[in-house]
Amino acid sequence: MDKKRIVIIGATSAIAEHCARLWAQTNLIDITLVGRDTSRIERIAKDLQVRSPQSEIHIVKTGFIEPNVIQSTADNIFASGPVDIVLIAHGTLPDQIDCQNNLSTTHDALEINGVSPALYAEAFARHMAVANLGTLAIIGSVAGDRGRKSNYVYGAAKGLITRYAQGLQHRFAGTGVKVVLIKPGPTDTPMTAHLKNQGAKLTSVESVAKNIVKAIEHGKATAYVPCKWQIIMLIIRHLPAFIFNKLNI
Amino acid sequence: MRPVSSWGRLNALPHEVISLNHPERVQNQISKHNPGIAYGMGRSYGDACLNPNGILWHTTGLDRFIQFNDNTGQLVCEAGVLLRDIQRLVIPRGWILPVTPGTQLITVGGAIANDVHGKNHHVLGSFGDHVKHIRLLRTDGQIIECGPTLQPDWFAATVGGLGLTGVMVEVEIQLKRVHGPWLNTETIPYDNLNEFFKLADESEAGWEHTVSWVDCLTEGGGRGIFMRGNPGKTAQYNKLDGRKLTMPIVPPFSLVNTLSLRAFNTTYFNLMKWRAGTAITHYEKFFYPLDNILEWNRMYGPKGFYQYQCVIPREVGQDGVQSMLAEISKSGNGSFLTVLKTFGNRHATGMMSFPQHGVTLALDFPNQGTSTLKLFERLDIIVRETGGRIYLAKDARMLRDMFETGYPRLQEFLKYRDPGISSGLSKRLMGF
Ligand SMILES: Cc1cc2nc3c(=O)[nH]c(=O)nc-3n(C[C@H](O)[C@H](O)[C@H](O)COP(=O)(O)OP(=O)(O)OC[C@H]3O[C@@H](n4cnc5c(N)ncnc54)[C@H](O)[C@@H]3O)c2cc1C
Ligand SMILES: NC(=O)c1ccc[n+]([C@@H]2O[C@H](COP(=O)([O-])OP(=O)(O)OC[C@H]3O[C@@H](n4cnc5c(N)ncnc54)[C@H](OP(=O)(O)O)[C@@H]3O)[C@@H](O)[C@H]2O)c1
Residue A155: closest CA among A140, A138, A137, A166: A140
Digit-coded pLDDT (tens) for A153-168: 999 999 999 999 999 9
Which one-letter amino acid corresponds to residue B98? Answer: P
Structural domain including A133 reads 4-244
Per-residue pLDDT band for B171 (boundaries 50, 70, 90) equals: very high
Q: Which residues of A46-62 are buried (b: 16+ CB within 10 A; e: fewer)?
A: bbbbbbbeebebebbeb
With 60 as the cut, is the pLDDT of residue B260 above it? yes
pLDDT at B246: 65
Contact A50 B24 (CB under 8 A): no
C-alpha dihedral sign at A225, A228, A232, A238: positive
- In a domain? residue A219: yes
Q: Smallest Cβ distance to A50: which of B2, B24, B68? A: B68
Task: Give Rg (Cα) of chain B.
Answer: 21
pLDDT at A1: 55
- In a domain? residue A53: yes
pLDDT average, residue stretch A87-109: 98
pLDDT average, residue stretch B133-161: 98
With 70 as the cut, is the pLDDT of residue B259 above it? no
Chain A residues whose beta carbon lies within 8 Å of the beta carbon of residue B23: 43
pLDDT at B238: 62
d(CA B246, CA B295): 6
Pick from B1, B16, B19 the residue to mutate for testing the A interface (most A CBs within 10 Å): B19
Mutation test residue for ligand 2: of A8, A9, A15, the one with most atoms within 8 Å of CB = A15
Chain B residues whose beta carbon lies within 8 Å of the beta carbon of residue A190: 19, 21, 61
The ligand minimizing its distance to the Cα of A155 is 2
- In chain B the domains, ranked by start, together with CATH numbers, are 182-404 (3.30.70.2520)
pLDDT at B241: 56
Per-residue pLDDT band for B222 (boundaries 50, 70, 90) equals: confident
pLDDT at A204: 95
* Chain B residue set in contact with A, beta carbons under 8 Å: 1-2, 16-17, 19, 21-24, 61, 64-68, 70, 89
Task: Look over chain A and give the mean of its residue pLDDT values, rounded to a whole number.
Answer: 96
With 60 as the cut, is the pLDDT of residue B242 above it? no
The CATH number assigned to the domain holding A174 equals 3.40.50.720
- In a domain? residue A205: yes
- In a domain? residue A249: no
Residues B60, B80 contacting (CB under 8 angstroms): yes
pLDDT average, residue stretch B14-19: 95
Domain count, chain A: 1
Contact B65 A193 (CB under 8 A): no
With 90 as the cut, is the pLDDT of residue B275 above it? no
pLDDT at A46: 98
Per-residue pLDDT band for B320 (boundaries 50, 70, 90) equals: very high
pLDDT average, residue stretch B373-378: 96
pTM value is: 0.95
